[in-house]
Structure 1
Amino acid sequence: MGSKFSLEDLFTLTLATIFVVQVLPQARAALFTDPSTLPNHKEYDYIIVGAGPSGSVLASRLTEEARTNVLLIEAGPNDAGQLSLEVPFLASQLQPNMQFDWNYTTVPQAGLGGRTVPYSRGRVLGGSTNFMIYTRGSKDDFDNYAALTGDDGWSWDALQPYFSKLENLVPPVDGHDTSGEILPKIHGTSGPLKISLPGAPLPSNSRVIQATQELRSEFPFNVDMSSGDPLGIGWSSGTFGGGARVSASVAYLQPVLGRRNLDILVNTTVTKLIQTGTKDGQPVFRRVLFAQSGSAPIFALKARIEVILAAGAINTPQLLMLSGIGPVQVLRSLGIKPILDLPDVGQHLADHPLVTNQFGVAQSSDDIIDNISRNATFASALLEQWLIERQGIMTLDGQTQIGWLRIPTNDSAFNGAPDPSAGRLSPHYELFVVPGFMSSRGTPAPTTGFFNTFLTALVTPTSRGSVTLASVDPFATPIVDPNFLSTPFDIAAMRFAVRSAVRFASAPAWRGFLTGPAAGFAEVDTDDDDSVDAWVRAQASTIFHPVSTARMGKCGDARGAVVNPDLTVKGARGLRIVDASVLPLIPAAHPQAAIYVFAERAADLIKSRTGSYK
């Protein structure tokens, strides 16, 4: 998005220094890069497709039982030793159009004036956890999931032991006193996933906190947004520790690569699920086909108990449809023989639209991002500090504070539209500040001037889109249509969020720091609805949170949902889905925490039912 410092500029350190980082262990007995080298004598109980935050959790937890053999198949490469994946501040360099990305693009979006949007999804061990923001979401969101599925196990209270199980709250890398910034007692301290507070200051920090006191009725301070009540502005926790990014691979896979009952195959795409029989009138899917390219040999393996799809909200519905599972008419139109009619496969796609709003800063030193992009010497010094000390700006993911806020009930956004949030504890929009120029549209940064950007994201969108097939070729890009800003509520809510950013930036705390709206945002008349709406439609893209394309519903109802409350596929045997696609509604939060906790509970559900499918 917008200003991006070049990795080539940053990699001006000596080869010797870089080599120290890159020679981390990259190969273990359990990790395979060629399907032909998989052990031909081993029978796998579970085959997991996708090594993101859900697949990594499942692979680790299921192999805690020594007699359970698991094969984890990931389309992307191994993440070990990749500098750009380790340095938190380089997260923005990982997409779009990078080697660890599927590099999708949406269809033209009518709500964005016909623009297409780059649509990044992680294609690497560890998956799509690049921006690292860790926020559990609201109590209301999870209680709503429980109500929609008829399973109280998905409620906020029921999932708290799993949050504690997965988290490992560690001190910030700079060792500062975190009193008043987080509530340690509500977090886990011994789980695989390190979470921490920012370990380096940004110039805007004190201004943000002061503004929460000056404008507390609209922007109250919240000491810890993981309490179930995220509303307000406070310090942002993230999935990093010791100054480095902690992905799902780092947390869950790398520590267990020595397990004899876990094999991981990378650089390999699962191309189809194969029906292996029928049980009680339902098709059984326990065989997978996989290959490394469209011209490479195709391999096949059968799981003894289950195939588990953890490929994400885009790739999971794609694979289901390629396998004859989905809307019958769509499948037939492509010449695919329907096996299981599930009309909701690929439907209900929801995502968080994002708009960036730029302000000028009075002091050039308060713009970190543009100083890095314009000054290779400065950038290299910061990277060298990270390499040697694991300290400084490079330990951050680009922001240190975040806001989750609601639109007042009497606002015109609700004219003719019900409140789409899960309840009074769920925010409608997100607000945070980054130290420099960023553009959600991808507009290049100006070569002069210095900036802070206020980012606004709609986290309770009512627009729904879809994922479908463009081709029967499993290596062809699917058709991705998030259908951004297609409802009156969504455009009105984004208008409110942009104006909210302006109100927050007008607090006395910002005097002498901000110089007012800048770059393209300076041309927007924020008092005029049409002017703000035009800005929103011209600038909006995504914060990359697609969900709900294989959503969960109550048992016994095959319409409106794809999986049961235990995440088994409706009408099928031997097949389960555990990833962002199953979320019944989009969480009003960055989804990674929800996906981790869903996967932790799913692992227990699977263990408790081991052997139930024969």
Structure 2
Amino acid sequence: MNGLLFFFAVSLALACFCKATLFTNVSQLTKSNYDFVIVGAGAAGSVLANRLTENPSFSVLVIEAGVTNEGVLDIEVPFLAPGNLPMSSVTWNFTTTPQQNLDDRVLTYPRGRVLGGSSSINFMVYTRGSDEEYDRWAKLTENSGWAWENVAQYYFKSSRLVPPVDGRNITGEVNPSDHGNGPILVSVPGMPSEIDDRVFTTSKESGSEFPFSLDWQSGNAVGVGALQSTAGGGVRSSAATAYLQPVLNRTNLDVLIQTTVTRVISNGKSGGKPVFNKVEMAANAASKRFTVTASKEVILSAGSIGTPQILMLSGIGNCTTLKTLDIDCEIDLPDVGEHLQDHPLMSAYFTVDSNNTFDDLLRNATILDAALEQWMSNHSGILANAPGNAIAFLRLPSNDSIFKTFADPTAGPNSPHFEFIFAASDGYGGSVVPQPATGHFLTFQVVVVSPLSRGNLKLNNTDPFDFPIINPNFFDSEFDQAVMVGAVRAARRFVEAAPWKGFVTGLFGVVNSANTDEEIIAASRQSIVTIWHPTSTARMSPKDASFGVTDPDLLVKGAEGLRIVDASIFPVIPAGHPVAAMYIIAERASDLIKNSWA
């Protein structure tokens, strides 16, 4: 990737030159009181900024720690995201604790630190999940508002299907009626690879084991089908490009970037509850701290890592733990920072008899620079697409022995246990080993999407500029281990089908060198990384429940004037890529907020 270093440096430099509608320093704000102060301009915060300012009588301030997304080439170019964005200047470069179930490896754990948040750096896979996922949320929160029949309107309001970049006929690859008319652009791959037909033919000929899925947004989330990406016209479509940037000219919206929120502050009580209406912030650890006031609500949209950290720094969390750090406890909510869930990913490689994979593109700077030049000319070519063309979401057999020990944790029969992301390369974006200097590969990125393992997040100290202690606790549950073994064996059966004869020539890598269940689990411990899907660290629960952090309206329990809208409130992680669910939540939250202040 060395040929891109110049472009990457230029793009990051451009990111520092912001539009006049963005403030880069708190001193540029013309007022210190707003109706709503939104902390974080990620997938949720950008939606909220757009929808709340539709009411011209509402004044809104959005505070984002990162830079603008504009001019950052590796954000804009769909194919480049997995290679350059993780652990860069546009991410929170978190790391985990040594993972005791992954041979004590410390994992990188990046989150978006840029307008659009992680929607600006993710792999762009778009799956809303099964209808059952939302019905389960409704059951867990004892609130029918989260049932699919009630949130469907927000899915259709958030995204729309657009043609692939090559403009070809996509009949049979997608169902237009499963899509809406919202601002997020969604498309199927514009340059089919030589593995695509093999994937789809294997599915259609397999019978019930690998069923074909026409569209991932149908409500049935099990099957094999074309990957749908948040991209349109050869460019990433993020919360920033779709929701935030189009409304930056609204006079009732201010967006302050390069500024970190250090805590929220209570100012008096109402009905015996502390009222959190002040937000403290600073440019960096050494700079002066400023406060702004929200006359209606402070809304935390800082993500599953940032939101619980801010809550605990503000005295909201486990009082016993907070007191050990000399933090005055305002509200005792022991669930803050607990129940962290994420999807573990690892790559299973196969060698192939082909010269048409992405491997040469990734290892040859001359080829890559030529492709980049084509993209910069007219947003076309291979770089205008995400690096994966097909995916599968599948279930373990109902008679799998693991179900003698564990109840099925999925939301229902239309929800998967594991995922395959097919890549015509050596695992770009999901590999823990360097790319081989020679050879061509097919990769199954294998993901456990129904994990039972639970982790947590704790404060390292009282400095808001120090990263918290993050323990996703991957692979802790025997169920997760059994799903990974079943998925690896399913991947091997998949490539034994007729369409792969003469194409797949062998197994490759530590995972595919394993044979017994124990060997596969041992290899997994050396290979698993995060797929960047942390959720549930401030989970919502029934209104009167003694557990949880927010009620079903996303209001922080025991507080006034404080709401959370981000993936931290998920009661349980969905079996899919969470960004679509996040847009649904943010759209519904916008209506909840508008209605409460009508």
TM category (shorter chain) comes to: over 0.9
Once the 2 structures are TM-superposed, how far is the Cα of residue 22 of structure 1 from its aligned partner? 8.8
Q: How far, CA to CA, are the matches of 1:464 and 1:354 in structure 2?
A: 16
Query: 5 Å matches for 1:210-229?
Result: 210-229=201-220
**Aligned residue in 2 for 1:380:** 369
**Aligned residue in 2 for 1:589:** 576
**Aligned residue in 2 for 1:126:** 116
Q: How far, CA to CA, are the matches of 1:229 and 1:325 in structure 2?
A: 38
Letter in 2 for 1:152: S
CA contact 1:91–1:131 (8 Å) conserved in 2 = yes
Matched, 1:574 2:568: no
Once the 2 structures are TM-superposed, how far is the Cα of residue 522 of structure 1 from its aligned partner? 4.4
Q: How far, CA to CA, are the matches of 1:26 and 1:60 in structure 2?
A: 23
Q: How far, CA to CA, are the matches of 1:24 and 1:284 in structure 2?
A: 37
Q: How far, CA to CA, are the matches of 2:511 and 2:472 in structure 1?
A: 25
Q: Cα 1:249–1:603, aligned 2, differ >3 Å: closer, same or farther? A: same
Once the 2 structures are TM-superposed, how far is the Cα of residue 344 of structure 1 from its aligned partner? 0.2
**Aligned residue in 2 for 1:78:** 68
Please point out which of 30, 41, 53 is paired with 1:63.
53
**Aligned residue in 2 for 1:438:** 427
Q: How far, CA to CA, are the matches of 1:289 and 1:7 in structure 2?
A: 42
**Aligned residue in 1 for 2:223:** 232
Once the 2 structures are TM-superposed, how far is the Cα of residue 389 of structure 1 from its aligned partner? 2.2
**Aligned residue in 2 for 1:599:** 586
Matched, 1:8 2:22: no
Please point out which of 245, 251, 262 is paired with 1:271.
262
Question: What is the CA deviation profile of residues 463-496 of structure 1, one whole-angstrom value per residue up to 9, with x for unaligned ones?
Answer: 0000110010000010000011111111111111
Question: What is the CA deviation profile of residues 6-58 of structure 1, one whole-angstrom value per residue up to 9, with x for unaligned ones?
Answer: 4536849xx9xx89x99799644431001111113x63100000111000000
Q: Cα 1:94–1:563, aligned 2, differ >3 Å: closer, same or farther? A: farther
Aligned length: 595
Q: Cα 1:94–1:311, aligned 2, differ >3 Å: closer, same or farther? A: farther
CA contact 2:3–2:369 (8 Å) conserved in 1 = no
Matched, 1:425 2:421: no
**Aligned residue in 1 for 2:142:** 150
Once the 2 structures are TM-superposed, how far is the Cα of residue 514 of structure 1 from its aligned partner? 1.3
CA contact 1:325–1:341 (8 Å) conserved in 2 = yes
Question: What is the CA deviation profile of residues 272-328 of structure 1, one whole-angstrom value per residue up to 9, with x for unaligned ones?
Answer: 110111000001101010001100111111101000000000110000000000001
- Runs of 5+ unmatched residues, structure 1: none
- Runs of 5+ unmatched residues, structure 2: none
Query: 5 Å matches for 1:121-520?
Result: 121-129=111-119, 130-189=122-181, 191-365=182-356, 367-368=357-358, 370-438=359-427, 440=430, 442-520=432-510
CA contact 2:189–2:389 (8 Å) conserved in 1 = yes
CA contact 1:432–1:454 (8 Å) conserved in 2 = yes
CA contact 1:6–1:373 (8 Å) conserved in 2 = no
- 3-state DSSP class of the match of 2:556? coil
Q: How far, CA to CA, are the matches of 2:199 and 2:423 in structure 1?
A: 11
- 3-state DSSP class of the match of 2:74? helix
Q: Cα 1:192–1:337, aligned 2, differ >3 Å: closer, same or farther? A: same
Letter in 2 for 1:225: W
Matched, 1:31 2:18: no
**Aligned residue in 1 for 2:97:** 107
CA contact 2:172–2:214 (8 Å) conserved in 1 = yes
Q: How far, CA to CA, are the matches of 2:446 and 2:592 in structure 1?
A: 37
CA contact 2:200–2:212 (8 Å) conserved in 1 = yes
Letter in 2 for 1:520: V
CA contact 1:371–1:378 (8 Å) conserved in 2 = yes
User: What is the RMSD of the two structures over their aligned residues, measured on CA atoms?
Assistant: 1.8
Q: Cα 1:30–1:67, aligned 2, differ >3 Å: closer, same or farther? A: farther
Task: Using structure 2 for the length normalisation, give the TM-score.
Answer: 0.97
Q: How far, CA to CA, are the matches of 1:452 and 1:408 in structure 2?
A: 25
Task: Using structure 1 for the length normalisation, give the TM-score.
Answer: 0.94
Could you tell me the percent identity over the aligned residues? 47
Matched, 1:555 2:529: no
Letter in 2 for 1:342: L
CA contact 1:273–1:323 (8 Å) conserved in 2 = yes
Q: How far, CA to CA, are the matches of 1:471 and 1:364 in structure 2?
A: 52
Letter in 2 for 1:317: P
Once the 2 structures are TM-superposed, how far is the Cα of residue 111 of structure 1 from its aligned partner? 1.0
